[in-house]
Amino acid sequence: MTRPRKTKIVHGAPIPASRAIFKPAGIPLNVVPVNNITFEEYEAMRLVDWRSKSQFEAATMMGVSQPSISRLLTTGRQKVMDALVMGKAIRISGGDFRLAFRGFGCLSCDHKWEIGESDSLAPEKCPKCESNDIYSLKKEV
């Protein structure tokens, strides 16, 4: 029997659906192969490669072991490089994770709300005034 997967903690603001896919310019998405990167792989790369955290710090923040972070980095980086070298699109979706926070606010109407447990993407618009001027209530790590 296999061991159950551990739910990782994602500290970065969720990505809006409009930014969850990257593709080569000038090629329609429906003809480009897509590499899927999980939110955990994205978060591990965000913390280590972009925020310059050590693997140990990233592991502590995500609630997993350092070898788990190393595996996430390896698979995530392989997928990114495969997409860049082979001209594929990259989609960020899926995985076993929970958000460290879920609160958002609107700059237009000052409305504040939380997204649901099942939501993994950031809202595109304010539910009250439908403005696109939304922000995360928690400062990113």
Q: What is the pLDDT of residues 2-48, one digit of tens each?
A: 777 778 887 766 667 677 899 999 999 899 999 999 989 999 999 99
pLDDT digits (tens, 9 = 90+) for 131-141: 988 887 765 54
The yes-or-no verdict on residue 105 having pLDDT over 80 is yes
The boundaries of the domain holding residue 20 are 8-25+32-136
Residue 120 domain-assigned?
Answer: yes
| Residue 97 within a domain | yes
Helix (H) or strand (E) holding 91, with range, is strand 89-92
Q: SS3 helix, strand, coil % of the chain, rounded to 5?
A: 35, 20, 45
For residue 141, CA distances in Å to 2, 28, 90, 138 come to 33, 34, 23, 9
Prediction pTM value: 0.74
CB 93 within 8 A of CB 36: yes
Q: Is residue 3 part of a domain?
A: no
Say if 119 falls within a structural domain.
Answer: yes
- Distance, CA of 18 to CA of 16 (rounded, Å): 5
* Within a domain: 141: no
Helix (H, G, I), strand (E, B) or coil at 36: strand
The domain total for the chain is 1
Q: Is residue 120 pLDDT above 70, yes or no?
A: no
Of the two residues 108 and 135, the one the predictor is more confident about is 108
Does any domain span residue 38? yes
Torsion of CA 85, 43, 99, 117, to 10 degrees: 20
Q: How far apart are CA 73 and CA 91, in angstroms?
A: 16
Q: Report yes or no on 1 lying in a domain.
A: no
130 within domain boundaries: yes
- 37 forms beta bridges with 92
